[in-house]
Structure 1
Amino acid sequence: MDIRVFKTFIAVAENKHFGKAATNLYITQAAVSARIKQLEEFYATQLIIREKNNLRLTPSGESLLAHAYLMVSQLEQSKLSISIANQQKIAFNIAATPNVWDAFFSYRIHEAIEIFENVALGTEISVLDAIQRKLDDRTLDVGLLMDPIKDDGFSNELIGHFDLSLVGSRANFDKEVEDYILVDWGITFHKEHALHHKVIPSFKTSTAMIALEVMLSKGGFAYLPTEFITEQLNSKTLFEIDAPVQIKRPIFMVYKKSNNNKELINQFKRLLLTIQ
């Protein structure tokens, strides 16, 4: 049944006049009569009593009026909901571990915002276990990690590297220093670090930003991303130390193979590969 038929029935019931209903609906009076007749034939009952200068609803018409209001209201609400849904942006959520954020993604987030201007982009900093869990339950689309997720359900794509430099608030460094800060740069880093350094850390942290703040306020030494401390090296606030090993850390873009946002994932991958 055409919803316009119910709108016409409501207009007749409210105005108690076919002519006024026709005027309000911008249709002819004949069209109003035809629609009411269509309703009465559909329900096989009289809905309106037409008397000279007196139009009133039958008991069946009174019963139908409440349903007519509800149907018209629900239709308008559904149109509004669909309109809002059409205007909503597709969500695309990215997470990085603290050090990947500091060393890599914080310098590239502006490009990501520009390329995803028609997408509701969400970003967060989290630990590897939480990122894996959220990728698994699809509340995240992409994780940026230094170590891949070893699970057949995930894709791990190498999209870049960053260099780590041993830097300090003083130019001289040896294993006797008492203000070494150990930053967590992942499993591979810990293995390489244990082979080449016997220094005992006085402070441990999972983020380069915290290590830098401690070094600038209290002094000390740490492995930090070279790109992250360029300004401090140039101003001689920090000094680069000759390290026994040159450390380069990988960045993996990790996502569920079953993720439905494959096109956005590919766009994000192309972006990261472009702005190395």
Structure 2
Amino acid sequence: MDLRVYKTFLAVAEYKHFGRAAETLYITQAAVSARIKQLEEFYATQLLIREKNNLRLTPAGEALLAHAHLLVSQMEQSKLSVSIADQQKLSFNIAATPNVWDAFFSSRIHEALELFDTLVLGTEISVREAIQRKLDERTLDVGLLTDPIKDDDFVNELIGHFDLSLVGNRSEFSASVDDYILVDWGITFQKEHALHHKVLPSFKTSTAMIALELILSKGGFAYLPTSLIDDFINDKSLFLIESPLQIKRPIYMVFRKNSSHELLVNEFRKLFARIQ
């Protein structure tokens, strides 16, 4: 089966519209219809339910969705691997959750890039579940997380910490404020937060930079990396708020046991130890 057929199916599933899928893929709507028909004939079942102004996946279509994602992802990965091998360069892929990227890795990526002259370094920001899945599929070499992955197939190494501070655009904070922004700083933080705070968030995000921009433009409160807000505290743009929470968060370097890139993993371990 042509991989383009699966890419078309994924586009239709995402946009719920043949026309928008066609625009995204730079093909005609008729071509989209033909590819979906080809896929349905191959599996001998209906994958999409087409109604007026409504398009949704059948149970069979939902079942195929994960397999289609995996097929396309593995094919793209194979193309990248072959291309890199052709250039005689190694590929090493790191993913961090949005909070770890903002608080830790974004300021250290230059050191990582300088680690090897012949290394193709791939970086991405992703949610914890996706990082674990990609590590398991071996399409990712290292994940940077605030909470370890509790699985015997993975190694979790504590490589550092970062501090959080509760800050706001004004100095008075209470459970009744209506502009509190809840930033996702991991599972442990969520438990502590629920225990110590009764404030209802007006906005939730996994990205510290989004929370910071909202506070500076519209006001509010949030837990943000101390290193990110020091300058704003100094110039009185933000105020530190006394907090009952544990504000030192760990960072774990997570990778699969028996990694094919064990030597590179060791080099990155040394790198993180050096740039604390």
State the TM-score, normalized to the length of structure 1: 0.68
**Cα offset for 1:86?**
6.6
For residues 168 and 204 of structure 2, the distance between their equivalents in structure 1, rounded to whole angstroms, comes to 15
- After superposing on structure 2, the runs of 4+ consecutive aligned residues of structure 1 that deviate more than 3 Å are 84-87
Q: Secondary structure at the match of 1:93?
A: strand
Contact 1:165 1:246 survives alignment (8 Å): no
For residues 171 and 235 of structure 2, the distance between their equivalents in structure 1, rounded to whole angstroms, comes to 13
Q: Secondary structure at the match of 1:213?
A: helix
Change (3 A) 1:85 1:125: closer
Give the 5 Å matches for 1:112-261: 112-261=112-261
For residues 247 and 192 of structure 1, the distance between their equivalents in structure 2, rounded to whole angstroms, comes to 10
Larger radius of gyration: 1
Q: Deviations over 1:136-186 (max 9, x none)?
A: 111110000011111111000010111110000111111111111011111
- Aligned-pair identity in percent equals 71
For residues 117 and 237 of structure 2, the distance between their equivalents in structure 1, rounded to whole angstroms, comes to 38
For residues 243 and 193 of structure 1, the distance between their equivalents in structure 2, rounded to whole angstroms, comes to 10
In the alignment of these two chains, the number of paired residues is: 194
Aligned to 2:91: 91
Amino acid at match of 2:242: D
State the TM-score, normalized to the length of structure 2: 0.68
Change (3 A) 1:173 1:88: same
For residues 275 and 106 of structure 2, the distance between their equivalents in structure 1, rounded to whole angstroms, comes to 12
Change (3 A) 1:241 1:86: same
**Cα offset for 1:190?**
1.1
Change (3 A) 1:265 1:212: same
Alignment gaps of 5+ in structure 2? 1-81
**Cα offset for 1:246?**
3.6
Amino acid at match of 1:197: H
For residues 137 and 194 of structure 1, the distance between their equivalents in structure 2, rounded to whole angstroms, comes to 34
**Cα offset for 1:87?**
4.0
Amino acid at match of 1:228: L
Q: Secondary structure at the match of 1:161?
A: strand
**Cα offset for 1:232?**
1.3
Aligned to 2:67: none
Q: Deviations over 1:114-147 (max 9, x none)?
A: 1133200000000111111111111110000011
For residues 224 and 85 of structure 1, the distance between their equivalents in structure 2, rounded to whole angstroms, comes to 41
For residues 202 and 105 of structure 1, the distance between their equivalents in structure 2, rounded to whole angstroms, comes to 28
Alignment gaps of 5+ in structure 1? 1-81
Change (3 A) 1:91 1:85: closer
Q: Deviations over 1:176-229 (max 9, x none)?
A: 111110111111101111121111111111111111111111100000010111
What RMSD in Å do the two structures reach over aligned CA positions?
Answer: 1.5
For residues 201 and 151 of structure 2, the distance between their equivalents in structure 1, rounded to whole angstroms, comes to 33
Contact 1:103 1:225 survives alignment (8 Å): yes
